[in-house]
Amino acid sequence: MRRVPIIVGSALITVGTVLGVTAWTIGPALSRVGDALYRHRDVVRQTLVRHDPGTRAVAWLGDSTMMWARGVPSYARLATRSLPGEDVEPFIFAMPGLDFFHFYCVMPRVLEAAPDLVVMPANLFNFRRDRQEGVYPDLCSFQTTSALLRGAGLPWHRRSVTVPRLLLTRLLRAPLIERWVRFFEGLRVAAAESALRNPFGVAPYALPPDARAGEVERRVRRHLEHAAQRITDEHPVAQMMDATLAMVRRRGVPIVVFMAPVNVAAVAQRGQYDRARHLESVAVLRRITERHGGTFVDLYGGTLPGQFRDLGGHYDAAGMRRIAMALRPHVADALGIPRPAAAADWPRMPALPPKRVRPSRGVGTPARSPDHAADG
């Protein structure tokens, strides 16, 4: 019996030594992996900062369609540039896949910066009901106690998030705990990607070449279905949108919400567009926005088919400029400043299809790759 404490003590010392050596040798690399996974807090701290209190500030929250990419400036920056008679400072928090679940989490931090206006997109690609990814834990940590209490009844379960988990994420506010969480997240990812998980080197299943084209089209069709879905007041993202706008309204900050443009031609070409369904969705989102005193702008068909970089709703330079020019008057109205003069070369909005369009046999918008149909 006397040997048991000795054995247990030796085992603990051995495990501690192994962990210490591991942390000392590969700890920095694992921490960098964790930093990449939990970079959202860093991005929030860097972007949601008001640098000049003497200027008007516009907070832009969005997904990857708002992000600068491949030399294309963000429409958020273009829309707030050179507004007449005012110096307007935009601070932009945009990352892939963000929607109103994430906007609700980060909104307390946004309001701390005292913006004069908050602008957010309603991107139907991010309204899909079958979305299984959870909400980023490090963004959940920005919720205040009042936001947690008010949001206890929101549909967090649709993203596999529980109220106890939301409470635990607040521990990330402690710098020491945040560093350790990032380290262990890096360790978890390293273990998941280790060769030990596949000791025999079994190659993953790959579709035969003759079936790949059909699989690509099937994935594209399924992705574009979300751009033509019907939105109701009971939709989980619509409920989060309502709660997010209510939080902003309580602080007395003006709101602009716009329906993000999609490639209507690609949707209609596959017989997925229904104008009546689209108008119902617009009415729901407009009603939620105006309930909280905000301005809703429908830009669903606001870009031309050739102004997209892919079928995932990402815009090229012309598309970014088009959206910026469409939003600038509404940003100016919300800030209470004169509207900018319209550009002479500004084209008219394209007309939406008048009714449901049936696809032609064998006709389809070519997809470069299923990876290009990624979520906004």
State yes or no: pLDDT of 253 exceeds 90: yes
Question: What's the structural domain count of the chain?
Answer: 1
Name 122's bridge partners. 259
Rounded Cα gap, residues 292 and 269, in angstroms: 36
| Residue 60 pLDDT class (50, 70, 90 cuts) | very high
Task: Tell me if 187 is assigned to some domain.
Answer: no
Indicate whether 217 belongs to any domain. yes
Angle, helix 100-112 to helix 236-250, in steps of 10 degrees: 10
| pLDDT band for position 194 (cuts 50, 70, 90) | low
What band does 281 get if pLDDT is binned at 50, 70 and 90?
very high
Distance CA 16, CA 18 (A): 5
Cβ–Cβ contacts within 10 Å for residue 259, how many? 23
Residue 318, pLDDT > 50, answer: yes
Provide the strand spans (E) within 79-188.
88-94, 117-122
Among residues 354, 122, 112, 153, which one has the least CA distance to residue 255?
122
Is 74 contained in some domain?
A: yes
Residue 293's domain comprises 54-162+211-373
As a whole number, the mean pLDDT across the chain is 79
Question: Do the domain assignments include residue 363?
Answer: yes
230 falls within a domain: yes
| CATH number for the domain that contains residue 359 | 3.40.50.1110
Q: Which pTM does this prediction carry? A: 0.79
- In the predicted model, is pLDDT for residue 288 greater than 70? yes
What's the mean pLDDT in 282-290? Answer: 96
Cβ atoms of 59 and 48 closer than 8 Å: yes
d(CA 218, CA 215): 5
pLDDT at 110 over 70: yes
Question: Do the domain assignments include residue 180?
Answer: no
Quickly state the pLDDT bin for 346 (edges 50, 70, 90): very low
Residue 349 placed within a domain: yes
Is residue 142 included in any domain, yes or no?
Answer: yes
